[in-house]
DNA sequence: CGACTTTTTGAGTCTAGTCAAAACATGTGG
DNA sequence: CCACATGTTTTGACTAGACTCAAAAAGTCG
């Protein structure tokens, strides 16, 4: 039985710039700007520049001086860290409407992770100085930013727990569940992870090797829990995956 | 050759309350209050209550509604998460002058980790409402708080990297280096980790089992890199440990 | 001096990693 | 439209690092 071709359909990215309307929509929906008036959003919008990126292109590297806060308009961006030996660890994958670039280190320091365009994408950026102006002008935004960073911290702690005590199989299941909840697109019974997503990526997300990931994914696939192909994954039984992720070891 | 008795000397904790002077010192040195005038600190101090805890006593549990921000005055506090099967994952150990309790989730949500007194300690606490008042009154504090949370996020990401790609031996070396830098007390050539600190704790910090930790620690000890006993560790060759932590695997 | 906890040691097992090679998918240019 | 070049995924055989279970040894405290 032949495998289906990739069902992932990449969103269209305007080769020039994102439209003004779209920019306003994205900026206005950020968790820390959502409560502002549309006049304020229009004003803030003017502090952002846009920037088109082709897939695979690095946006900044770990250690570069942190000068901007970024915002994904369209496309997907991955955040990663490199080890001395060159292996990469995938910390997060961001979709439209998410921010990145050391929000909190504004006023000194470098980026603590590398950001790479996972697909063609349009990125909005604001300089640290301008962002600071916004925070001073709208103090309640600072509070919401704080909350947003706190949520990322909480997610990181959850990942630490998973890496500490779960098996590779459980971590892979958990990573797929996380992505399905974030980037999942419901198609009939199943949930397609809307993202070009290789075994290599999944390995870097779960601290495993490509080979091990391939074996586990094949097993899930044979059991009918997921369907996969080259650089895509679709989930047929989300509940089943969740059960595997939580399943407690004998002890 | 007989092992030395525990060289860890626990700080004295006043069984009643921390002195006013000490409270002001601790509060005034917090990274996010440091820049305020002493009048402001005195005023803020009045919003804190103190609370004495005996060793091993839980301060709050993961999931409890987050009502306070806490501050370690004296003693040590550990932050951990529990897995479904009851294993615990040690996220951080805090010393005097560090804060805990979901700073960023203020205004809804529960604690995302459990906090337990590692030694007898004195804890200062401020309610979410009062802390919010402080933030509104001193907006630049919010910015510094943001930076503080950002630093915790960065530390968590570093730990994710370590758990993802390093061996248990490397993770143990890295954890000891981290603790030495944070709680280390220089004694002649060596650095004593000022903390009652069991193999179990080290295991929970590195995602390993007690037995494996014991074997690795014995090896380090035999090589003269560290000295250890029951619930204490002292480091003789910090550089050596750092080298082990960074040492890249063949690939 | 016990009673208790923490640490160590040993033997056996298994999960996940390594290395190497084949199979497969995709896009390109002839 | 096919054949090839390229990147991705799979499979296999082997190894090793870390876990489990069990029991002994060593510290600590009343």
Q: How far apart are CA B95 and CA B36, in angstroms?
A: 22
State whether B138 and B175 are in the same domain.
Answer: no
pLDDT recorded at residue B77: 96
- The CA distance from A194 to B202, in Å, is 40
* Parent domain of B153: 20-164
Is residue A251 pLDDT above 50, yes or no?
no
Does residue B227 sit in the same domain as residue B141?
A: no
Put simply, the answer to whether A160 touches B91 (Cβ < 8 Å) is yes
Residues B41 and B145 in one domain: yes
DSSP B134-157: HHHH-HHHHHHHHHHHHHHHHHHH
CATH number, domain of A61, equals 2.60.120.10
- pLDDT exceeds 50 at position A1: no
For residue A182, the domain's CATH number is 1.10.10.10
Q: Three-state SS across B216-247?
A: HHHHHHHCCCEEEECCEEEECCHHHHHHHHHC
- The Cα–Cα gap between A126 and A68 comes to 5
Per-residue pLDDT reduced to its tens digit, A21-40 = 999 999 999 999 999 999 99
Q: Which residues are within 8 A (CB) of B151 and not within 5 positions of it... i.e. 6 or more apart?
A: A104
What pLDDT, on a 0 to 100 scale, did the predictor assign at position A248?
A: 74
Q: Do B153 and A157 touch (CB under 8 A)?
A: no
**Pair (A30, A149) in one structural domain:** yes
Whether the beta carbon of A198 falls within 7 A of nucleic chain C: the reply is: no
Q: Which of A113, A149, A159 sits opposite B146 (nearest CB)?
A: A149
Do residues A154 and A188 both lie within one domain?
Answer: no
> Is B114 inside any structural domain?
yes
A79 and A153 belong to one structural domain:
yes
> What average pLDDT does chain A have?
91
Task: For residue B157, tell me if it sits in a domain.
Answer: yes
What is the C-alpha separation between A41 and A46, in angstroms, rounded?
A: 9
- Among B145, B164, B183, the domain-final residue is B164
B69 CA vs C4 C1’ separation (Å) = 37
Residue A3 counted as domain residue: no
Which of B24-38, B91-105, B157-171 shows the lowest mean pLDDT across its residues? B91-105
pLDDT tens, A114-136?
999 999 999 999 999 999 999 99
Residue A109 banded pLDDT, cuts 50, 70, 90: confident
- Given B164, B195, B223, which residue is the final one in a domain? B164
The DSSP element (H or E) to which B28 belongs, if any, is helix B20-29
First vs last Cα of chain A: how many Å apart? Answer: 41
A6 CA to D1 C1' distance (Å):
21
**Mean pLDDT computed over A75-97:** 94
Asked if residue A187 has pLDDT above 70, the reply is: yes
Q: Confidence band (pLDDT; 50, 70, 90) for B13?
A: low
In a domain, A5, yes or no: no
Q: Output B206-215 pairs: Cβ under 8 A, ≥24 positions apart.
A: B206/A164, B206/B168, B206/B171, B206/B172, B206/B175, B207/A163, B207/A164, B207/A165, B207/B89, B207/B163, B207/B168, B207/B171, B208/B168, B208/B171, B208/B172, B212/B168, B213/B168, B213/B172
**Chain B residues whose beta carbon lies within 8 Å of the beta carbon of residue A149:** 104, 146, 149-150, 153
A15 occurs within a structural domain = no
Looking at the whole model, is its pTM more than 0.75? yes
pLDDT above 50 for B17: yes
User: What share of chain A in percent tops pLDDT 70?
Assistant: 93
Check CB contact under 8 Å for B146 and A103. Answer: yes
> pLDDT by residue (tens digit) across B113-126?
999 999 999 999 99
User: B251 and A85 in contact by Cβ < 8 A?
Assistant: yes
| B69 and B176 within one domain | no
Exposure class string for A32-67: b at 16+ Cβ within 10 A, else e: bbeebeeebbeebbebbebbbbeeeeebbeeeeebe
Choose the closest CB to B83 out of A113, A147, A161.
A161
Q: Are residues A149 and A234 in the same domain?
A: no
pLDDT of B67 strictly over 60: yes
Chain B residue numbers touching A164 (CB-CB < 8 A): 89, 163, 204, 206-207
Domain edge (last residue) among A145, A164, A183: A164
Residue A13 lies in a domain: no
Does residue A2 carry a pLDDT above 60? no
User: In terms of CA atoms, which chain B residue is nearest residue A160?
Assistant: B160
* Statement to judge: residues B143 and B203 lie in one domain: no
- Strand C positions closer than 7 A to protein CB: 6-11, 15-20, 24-26
User: Would the CB atoms of B112 and A165 count as touching at under 8 Å?
Assistant: no
- Say whether both B182 and B68 belong to one domain: no
The minimum CA-CA distance between A35 and chain B, rounded to whole Å, is: 15
Alpha-carbon gap: A167 to the closest alpha carbon of chain B (Å): 11
A127, A33: one domain: yes
Torsion of CA B142, B145, B151, B152, to 10 degrees: -130
Task: Enter the DSSP assignment of B207.
Answer: T
Other residues' Cβ atoms within 10 Å of the Cβ of residue A73: 25
C-alpha dihedral sign at A204, A207, A211, A213 = negative
What integer pLDDT is reported at residue B2 of this predicted model?
41
From the list A105, A160, A161, the residue facing B150 with the nearest CB is: A105
Whether B167 shows a pLDDT value over 50: the answer reads yes
Which bases in strand D are touched by protein, i.e. have an atom under 7 Å from a CB? 7-13, 17-22, 26-28
Average pLDDT of every residue of chain B: 90
DSSP collapsed to 3 states, A84-95: CCCCEEEEEEEC
Task: Classify the C-alpha dihedral A48-A49-A50-A56 as positive or negative.
Answer: negative
Instruction: Among B105, B147, B156, select the one facing A156 at the smallest CB separation.
Output: B156
What gap in Å lies between CA B49 and CA B47, rounded to an integer?
7
Classify residue A36: in a domain, yes or no: yes
- Total tally of structural domains belonging to chain B: 2
Tally the C-alpha atoms within 13 A of residue B2's C-alpha that lie toward its C-beta.
3
pLDDT at B14 over 80: no
pLDDT of residue B1: 39
Chain B residues within 8 A of A136 when measuring between CB atoms: 139
A87-91, A166-170, A232-236, B142-146: segment of lowest average pLDDT = B142-146
C-beta of residue B153 within 8 angstroms of C-beta of residue A156: yes
**Residue B3 covered by a domain:** no
**Residue B126 and residue B37 in one domain:** yes
């Amino acid at each position: 039985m032949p495998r289906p071709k990739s069902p992932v359909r990449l969103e269209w990215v305007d080769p020039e710039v994102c439209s003004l309307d779209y920019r306003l929509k994205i900026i206005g929906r950020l968790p820390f700007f959502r409560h502002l008036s549309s006049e304020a959003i229009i004003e803030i919008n003017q502090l952002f520049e846009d920037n088109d990126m082709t897939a695979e292109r690095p946006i900044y590297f770990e250690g570069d001086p942190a000068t901007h806060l970024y915002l994904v308009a369209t496309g997907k961006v991955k955040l990663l860290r490199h080890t001395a030996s060159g292996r990469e660890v995938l910390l997060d994958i961001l979709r439209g409407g998410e921010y990145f670039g050391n929000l909190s280190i504004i006023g000194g320091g470098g980026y603590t992770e590398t950001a790479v365009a996972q697909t063609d994408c349009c990125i909005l950026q604001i300089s640290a100085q301008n962002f600071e102006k916004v925070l001073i002008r709208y103090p309640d935004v600072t509070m919401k930013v704080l909350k947003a960073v706190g949520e990322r911290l909480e997610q990181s702690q959850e990942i630490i727990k998973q890496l500490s005590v779960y098996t590779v199989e459980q971590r892979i299941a958990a990573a797929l569940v996380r992505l399905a909840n974030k980037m999942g697109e419901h198609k009939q019974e199943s949930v397609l992870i809307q993202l070009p997503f290789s075994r290599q990526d999944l390995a870097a997300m779960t601290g495993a090797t490509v080979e091990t990931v391939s074996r586990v994914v094949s097993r899930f696939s044979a059991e009918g829990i997921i369907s996969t192909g080259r650089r895509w994954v679709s989930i047929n039984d989300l509940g089943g995956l969740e059960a595997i992720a939580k399943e407690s070891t004998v002890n």
